[in-house]
Amino acid sequence: MKNNLLRLIQYTSILLLVACSGDGGIYGSGGVGGGGNQNSPYEGQVLLGPVINADISVTKLFDDDAQHLCVTRSRESLDLDIAGTFSIDAKCIQDRDQVFVITATGGMDIDVEDDGVIDTQPTAVTQAIHTVVIGKQLYRTENWKVSRLTDDVYRYIIYGKQELQLSEAQIVLALELVSDYLLSEDVNDDDVIDYQDILRWHARFDQQALTPADTISEELFFEDIREQLEAVEDSGNTLINSGTDTGTGTDTGTGTDTGTGTDTGTGIDTGSGTDTGTNTVTATAPLNDTGIILCGDYAYAYDAITGSNNHQNNLDCAAAGASADIDGSDGESDIVRAGQDGVSGRDTSHRDDSDGHAGFSFTKLDVDGNPLDVSALSWSCVQDNITGLVWEIKSNANGISGESLHDADDSYLWYNDDNARNGGGVGTVDDSSNNCHGYQVAENNGSYDAGDCNTTAFVERVNGASLCGKNDWRLPSKQELQSIIDNSRTSAAIDSNFFPDTQDYYWTATAFAPNTVAAWRVNFSVGDIKASSKTNHHYLRLVRKTAQ
């Protein structure tokens, strides 16, 4: 009890000293160099438990000299929401497209157990912890952290930079993909798992969001990314290597393009233009754009600018005066930043909804694979005129499974006995669940049969029926299924004029490398993608490639 009282007196004395200091406290306001900028949007927190008095520095990841752009120190407080917080002046991060490292060194952890109770004796932090972040992510993310999770990301990124010699564009891609490996749940309640969730992750509140594979090695992480990059290269994406982009299929959207044409809207354009590397990559096929044709404003105060605090994300870009390189403003005088997804890419250059929303272009096909007029009321397949992929069409989503081979209500377990493609786990044959058309109860024998409700059995049945006159149908890869996501829509995030009766979760053929019991699925309710246990029942939409 005596120690608790003494500790409380010490903490209170610190707070009084901070409150009475005319220059904002012992270390100023927590801003850069002690001056601070109270309008700066870059408010972070060092969080194991809250770490007070940590030295904070900002450097560029690709600056070999590691020059400190600015330094500050984390705040002292008895309030766990304030303790460990710090401010970074916006002037330190002038190029918001570059990758920065925020490093916290030293300091005292005042809640080691993460139980929400200040410890009677703080614990010295002996190892530096880091956050790797693109400037624009700080600009858009509130209450971001320097935490154990962000330090895990830093370890991966440093391995990729130093051991694999990745370019900055490739590091940007790795940052976009890493959330799929480390998190299994959304953290910031926007229904999408992305890097903002990594930045917002809180050890006390978000432990359940960590995927069981959060200890995946750097080697395995980048091995899986390399496989995706190779697939992206085959499909014509020009992001995967730095250098001069000479391709014709570049999606010039402003989000981080993961190689599927799906722009995640984080404001980092890495998909086109001349990079600083030396390799030249030539695209072989174009990508779909994202479907986003609107812009958002920045309604929050920063620097000397005051904001309305009334954020809008459905603004007409042209009416706001925003373009690829010129900022605009909305009716409340909030800035509409240049370079947003809604001002570039096919969605702008080929905006014609007659054959698909925005920049998408589809053709309906009849039962024999012949083209139909866009007004046709019945069709069996859809050809994507941009990617050259042909998609199976589902029908009759009425909550009753098994009514037809292409019943939208039929669901399946993931199964693939090809060890070269199943990620080390075959999945489950599912010969006991009557969830699909073609199920044969007589084949309930614990082994694979053509009458099972699994992915392989369904592919065989569709090829046996020669859907649209073809028998080379297969389960789509993660990248292929993402390519038909329309990010401007939800429930369903796809053009329903061509893809009616679309449900939520659809399996892909891509196994989840960190965990042999999982594979990737796409959620067409919101357009996100994450790993799912192969024992889950999900829907299927098969694909084939047109002749080149």
**pLDDT tens digits, residue range 384-434?**
999 999 999 999 999 999 999 999 999 999 999 999 899 999 998 876 778
Residue 278, pLDDT > 60, answer: no
Question: Residue 276 corresponds to which tokens in the numbers above?
Answer: 């600083």
Distance CA 295, CA 338 (A): 9
Count CB-CB contacts under 10 A for residue 191. Answer: 12
Q: Among residues of the chain, what percentage have pLDDT more than 90?
A: 48
**DSSP structural state of residue 355:** G
Percentage of residues of the chain with pLDDT beyond 70: 78
Q: What's the pTM value of the predicted model, to 2 decimals?
A: 0.58
**What digits encode the pLDDT tens for the residues 53-96?**
999 999 999 987 778 888 999 999 989 999 999 988 877 887 77
pLDDT value of position 200: 92
Give the Cα separation of 256 and 172 in Å (integer): 7
pLDDT at 542 over 80: yes
pLDDT digits (tens, 9 = 90+) for 498-526: 999 999 999 999 998 878 888 999 999 98
| Residue 3 pLDDT class (50, 70, 90 cuts) | very low
> What is the model's pLDDT at position 275?
34
Q: pLDDT category, 299, cuts 50, 70, 90? A: confident
Residue 222's pLDDT is 83
Distances (CA, A) of 452 to 94, 406, 431, 458, 477: 57, 15, 5, 8, 22
Measured in whole angstroms, how far is the alpha carbon of residue 175 from the centre of its chain?
Answer: 9
pLDDT grade for 495, boundaries at 50, 70 and 90: very high
> Alpha helices, DSSP H only, in 21-71?
none
**What are residue 506's phi and psi, to 5 degrees?**
-125, 135
In tens, the pLDDT along 18-49 reads 333 333 322 223 332 333 333 445 789 999 99
Kindly give the residue spans of alpha helices, DSSP state H, lying in 183-288: 195-200, 218-235
Averaged pLDDT for residues 163-176: 84
Q: What is the mean pLDDT of the chain?
A: 80
* pLDDT at residue 167 tops 70: yes
pLDDT at 160: 87
**Can you list the pairs that 419-426 forms with residues at least 24 positions away whose Cβ atoms lie under 8 Å?**
421/509, 421/511, 422/511, 423/511, 423/512, 423/513, 423/516, 423/518, 423/519, 424/511, 424/516, 425/511, 425/516, 425/517, 425/518, 425/534
Q: What radius of gyration do the chain's Cα atoms show?
A: 26
Give the per-residue pLDDT at 63: 86
pLDDT value, residue 126: 94
- The separation between CA 102 and the C-alpha centre of its own chain, rounded to angstroms, equals 21
Q: What is the tens place of the pLDDT at every residue in 197-212?
A: 899 999 889 888 887 6
Q: Is the pLDDT of residue 480 over 80?
A: yes
Encode 342-370: b = buried (16+ Cβ within 10 Å), e = exposed: bbbbbbbeeeeeebbbbbbbbbbbeeebe
Evaluate the omega torsion of the peptide bond into residue 492 and state whether it is cis, within 30 degrees of 0: yes
pLDDT at 309: 82
**What type of residue is 136?**
K
Split at pLDDT 50, 70, 90, the class of 258 is very low
Residue 230 confidence (pLDDT): 53
Query: What pLDDT is attached to residue 228?
Result: 56
pLDDT the model gives residue 459: 97
So what's the pLDDT on residue 262?
35
Whole-angstrom distance, CA of residue 206 vs CA of residue 499: 36
Given a cut of 90, is residue 132 above it in pLDDT?
yes
Helix (H, G, I), strand (E, B) or coil at 180: helix
CA distance 240 to 173: 8
Q: Say whether pLDDT at 4 is over 70.
A: no
Closest by CA to 487, choosing from 323, 260, 185, 311, is 260
Task: Give the CA angle between residues 149, 516, 524 to the nearest 5°.
Answer: 75
Write out pLDDT tens, residues 346-366: 999 888 899 999 999 999 999
| Contact by Cβ (8 Å): 40, 303 | yes
pLDDT at 546: 85
The pLDDT, as a whole number, for residue 238 is 35
pLDDT at 466: 97
Report whether 360 contacts 288 (CB < 8 A).
yes
Cβ-proximal residues to 451 (8 Å cutoff; 6+ apart), any chain: 431, 438, 439, 440, 442, 443, 457
